[in-house]
Amino acid sequence: MKRRTGTILATVIAVVAASSAALFALPASAETAAFTVQSSWTNGYQGQITVNNDRSTAISTWKVDLTLPAGTTVTQAWNATLATSGSTYTFTPAGWNAGIPAGGSTSFGFIVSGTGRPTACLVNGVSCTGTTNPSPSPSSSSPAPSPSASNDGTPVGINGQLKVCGTKLCNESGQPVQLKGMSTHGLQWFPACYTDASLDWLAGDWNADLLRISMYVQEQGYETDPAGFTARVNALVDEASERGMYALIDFHILTPGDPAFNLERAKTFFAQVSARHANKKNVIYEIANEPNGVSWAQIKNYADQVIPVIRANDPDGVVIVGTRGWSSLGVSEGGNSAEIVSNPVSAANVMYAFHFYAASHKDNYRAEVERAAASLPLFVTEFGTVTYTGDGAVDTASTNAWLDLLDRLKIGYANWTFSDASEGSAALKPGTCAAGAFSGTSVLTESGALLRNRLRAG
């Protein structure tokens, strides 16, 4: 994905979206900034600021100072570095977005606790003051297509480049979007399941938005043939792209559970795939499938080293970070999401993985997801309809309870697995892939029928 700049705005700081607007006059020939309330709720809102360079020459850096009234605080920012001094919040570049060419712009976002709007601001040291004007809220119905998306009716055509806005995954025009799809099994074991015919079926009949490409690192995976497995992943990303689906590249670590064991492999792999797909709008990077037996601090340290490798090639791609306890937000190891909330990954455009298996993980896991979703952007990159072993009977009631919750919270998901493995979690009956029988419903398992129906329902 290429770095993009926003539309050049007039010499103002203006609130022009979701709930209210503030207008600040700026002197001529200065840098300008547009402050937009993207969405609001009872006790807070999500803001965005676009810094514009209206000069005839480039600027090498920028700084925005916002002063908020008592009782209103900035709690999180992305695409900028945040510093706080009393009631003043200073935003400086994240690194890659420091320089702004003549006539260009860059944007950053933030979450505010409290309802107060900025009472004063500085843009590169220039003072600004102003008044407040109300503005109607936009419709909260279906996400609006991005004006720069191709809008060919496919998921990518409609939504374009994704980004993290607050606790949600949003499309190119800033509207929350929920991706729903399927995960491959290990590429080394089920190559016949991922063909032109099967992917046409998944995209066209199942209506899947997302293909999670599960590349095992151990277990006869990447470590045995790095070039070969990288090529397989690249080919499947291209196949998903041709069908307008989002491609989630899963660096599938499981045993050993410490992601640092594969740190150098991860750097090499993600450097290669991010360079290969940097100009695509549909690639999401999952950098550690299921960390286990390690602390959140160790996982964060790994993420803080791998994410810059991706960002060097693809500054816009969404990155998903695995969480403690087999990506259970720590619940499966006696923890919870508070450790992530208090010590988040040091990068923007990041989400956190959650995994569940419906027959094993029930009310206490659902309660933690509901709690965490208020503070963290979550993505269920893997779930099963059966037990945590990947086998056993389908638990329809628990699966539907989970999917109803995810739909309500607008959290995306990928089901394990689009394969014909001899296990309860497989969507296809054994022998389906070898026969190339990718049509109809007779080849579906109970799990496959459940998921196909949910995906087709939208």
Phi, psi (degrees; rounded to nearest 5) at 341: -60, -40
Backbone angles phi, psi at 447, to 5 degrees: -65, -45
**Nearest in space to 289 (alpha carbons), one of 335, 333, 258:** 258
Q: What is the dihedral of CA 91, 313, 352, 381, to 10 degrees?
A: 150
The pairs formed by 152-157 with CB atoms below 8 angstroms and a separation of 24 or more are: 152/244, 153/244, 154/203, 154/243, 154/244, 154/245, 155/179, 155/209, 155/210, 155/244, 155/245, 155/246, 156/241, 156/244, 156/245, 156/246, 156/281, 156/282, 157/244
Q: In what order do the strands lie in the sheet with 32-41?
A: 32-41, 44-52, 105-113, 73-78
Q: Which two tokens stand for residue 163?
A: 């980004």
The Cβ of residue 299 has, within 10 Å, a number of other Cβ atoms equal to 28
Phi, psi of 296 (to 5 degrees): -60, -35
Torsion of CA 326, 178, 165, 139, to 10 degrees: -150
Residue 202, both tokens:
């998944």
Residues known to be catalytic: 290, 382
Cα separation, 115 vs 73, whole angstroms = 9
- CA gap 415, 189 in Å, rounded: 18
| Structure-token pair, residue 24 | 């600040």
Three-state DSSP state, 383 = strand
Sign of the Cα torsion 148, 150, 153, 157 reads negative
Helix (H) or strand (E) holding 380: strand 378-384
